[in-house]
Amino acid sequence: MKILVLGSGGREHTFVWKLAQSEKAEKIYAAPGNSGTAEFAENVALNVDDFQGIKDLVINEGIDLVVVGPENPLVNGIHDFFEKEVELQTVAVIGPKKLAATLEGSKEFAKEFMKRHNIPTAAYSSFTSESIKAGYEFLESLTPPYVLKADGLAAGKGVLILQNLEEAKKELASMLLDSKFGNASQTVVIEEFLDGIELSCFVLTDGKDYKILPTAKDYKRIGEGDTGLNTGGMGAISPVPFADESFMKKIEDRVVKPTVRGLQQDNIPYQGFIFIGLIKVGDNPKVIEYNVRMGDPETEVVIPRIQNDFVELFQAVAQGRLGDVVLKVDKRSATTVMAVSGGYPGAYEKNKEIKGIDQVDESIVFHAGTKEQGNTVVTNGGRVLAVTSFGNSFNDALSRSYDNLKKISFEGIYYRKDIGFDL
Ligand code: AMP
Ligand code: GLY
């Protein structure tokens, strides 16, 4: 099998690393990839939204399977594009088609889906510039904090949580009238604030059957104690200790089953990952969002714990045979800690030489924003690398990640020292 992985983050390095362990992987390509994927794959300098360039690559190299990492090409319809092009119809694509990807591409669509299928989520209402007055009145009817969400994709920045009514009204106006998040905030979903602890549930589905993958908890804020600005994610642990058997059963019965069944009932085919963001409110799971891909850095702890051959797993998804697969999961805990560039998530510099990766032992370094420059590896993004470790407990795994992070250096390196602090 020749396989193409689309994307360039830690998630994609993890996919490439895992796929490379399969005897069925004849050759792997990554587009555009990073310095980490280059170890197992041929990097091809193509943007993930360059569908024509991807088509040419797939045809010229005889690629059989395309694994789509990030949401953008999915929401822009890469899977539909492959289905329409005659020469690409035999190529398997892991990642849903455009309509299904709307579960991530539009918060309003996702909320309507949950309402239709009785999936527990926060109460909500959505507004446009025409209905802004009703939006103000709706805010007045709620108690703080106020949760405002840009309907469309806003690179993880489109959710505002505000304590003050006047501020919430001002932000609603800025989103609807001044395009605070561009087209993404033409519609705004206002929802009930859910008070509880977050976790993520990952599902792999062929549209008919599903496998629940290991749970994970992500740490999104830049500062320790979950303070400061939101980032793509600063670290993760798997499994989530409070997601015990009875809670997982609630997630499966109330969320996962109705989601997969709902997709079938709505005639929405789905081949790929569903990443369900949840909040545990009291003893019950409520959905805060759907993503139509794996999380990053959650992938860096979830995928290493899965012991199945990933080429076989993806083939089963593509051929609708997931029901025959038995998922094998490593019982140990996995943690990852993300090292980022100084200044991230604000402005930061690139091209800083990274030293010490070769000193790491008993951990896996997944590259995110890195590239090769001559014989050195340099920083090439905000999130630079994720150090993943296993342990008998998550604390045990964490101490291994932190010991190894001490050996890695680049100018401005920062990482949170408190991943898992709230557990
Ligand atoms: P989202 O982009 O929908 O995942 O939202 C970003 C973050 O905002 C989530 O990870 C939660 O921490 C928070 N959040 C979103 N919706 C709610 C809600 N209804 N109640 C409380 N927190 C929320
Ligand atoms: N770590 C959160 C995400 O991938 O969306």
Is any ligand 1 atom within 6 A of the Cβ of residue 189?
no
Is any ligand 1 atom within 6 A of the Cβ of residue 226?
no
Ligand 1 atom showing the smallest separation from residue 149 Cα: 3
Residue 245, token pair as written in the block: 């058997």
Handedness of CA 42, 48, 50, 54 (dihedral sign): positive
CA of 299 to the centre of ligand 2 (A): 9
Superfamily of domain 123-191: ATP-grasp fold, A domain (3.30.1490.20)
Is any ligand 1 atom within 6 A of the Cβ of residue 42?
no
Q: Cα(293)–Cα(238) distance, rounded to whole angstroms?
A: 17
2 contacts 63 by C-beta, under 8 angstroms: yes
Residues of the chain under the 70 pLDDT cut: none
Alpha-carbon separation of residue 365 from 10, 17, 106 (angstroms): 9, 11, 34
For residue 299, the one-letter residue type is: T
Domain ranges in the chain?
2-98, 123-191
Residue 320, token pair as written in the block: 């609708």
Ligand 1 atom 4, closest CA: 289
CATH number of 2-98: 3.40.50.20
Is any ligand 1 atom within 6 A of the Cβ of residue 138?
no
Alpha-carbon separation of residue 277 from 8, 267, 298 (angstroms): 23, 23, 12
* Closest-CA residue to 364 (of 384, 338, 383, 386): 386
Q: Which of 199, 218, 221, 273 to mutate to test the pocket of ligand 2 (most atoms within 8 A of CB)?
A: 218
Instruction: Say which residues have a Cβ less than 8 Å from residue 219's Cβ, sequence separation at least 6.
Output: 226, 233, 234, 235, 236, 416, 419
Ligand of minimum distance to the alpha carbon of 106: 1
Q: Cα(94)–Cα(133) distance, rounded to whole angstroms?
A: 43
Ligand of minimum distance to the alpha carbon of 103: 1
Ligand 1 atom 19, closest CA: 193
pLDDT given for residue 178 in this prediction:
86
* Closest-CA residue to 45 (of 84, 3, 6): 6
* Closest-CA residue to 233 (of 198, 204, 259): 198
214 contacts 327 by C-beta, under 8 angstroms: no
CA of 397 to the centre of ligand 2 (A): 21
pLDDT given for residue 157 in this prediction:
79
pLDDT given for residue 155 in this prediction:
79
Q: Please state whether beta strands 188-191 and 146-150 pair in parallel, antiparallel, or not at all (unpaired).
A: antiparallel
Q: Please state whether beta strands 333-340 and 383-391 pair in parallel, antiparallel, or not at all (unpaired).
A: antiparallel
Residue 312, token pair as written in the block: 């076989």
The torsion angle over the Cα atoms of residues 140, 172, 120 and 72, rounded to 10 degrees, is 180
Residue 234, token pair as written in the block: 């600063």
CA of 410 to the centre of ligand 2 (A): 24
CA of 300 to the centre of ligand 1 (A): 22
For residue 251, the one-letter residue type is: I
Q: Please state whether beta strands 42-43 and 27-32 pair in parallel, antiparallel, or not at all (unpaired).
A: parallel
Residue 389 host element (H or E): strand 383-391
Ligand 2 atom 4, closest CA: 295
For 31-86, give the DSSP string. EE--TTGGGTSEE----TT-HHHHHHHHHHHT--EEEE-SHHHHHTTHHHHHHHSG
pLDDT given for residue 167 in this prediction:
92
3 contacts 19 by C-beta, under 8 angstroms: yes
Is any ligand 2 atom within 6 A of the Cβ of residue 95?
no
Is any ligand 1 atom within 6 A of the Cβ of residue 63?
no
Ligand 2 atom 5, closest CA: 295
Is any ligand 2 atom within 6 A of the Cβ of residue 300?
no
**Would you give the end-to-end CA distance of the chain in angstroms?**
42
| Percent helix, strand and coil across the chain, each to the nearest 5 | 35, 30, 40
Is any ligand 1 atom within 6 A of the Cβ of residue 194?
yes
CA of 410 to the centre of ligand 1 (A): 32
Q: Cα(350)–Cα(356) distance, rounded to whole angstroms?
A: 18
Q: Cα(142)–Cα(3) distance, rounded to whole angstroms?
A: 50
Give phi and psi for 151, each to the nearest 5.
Answer: -65, -40
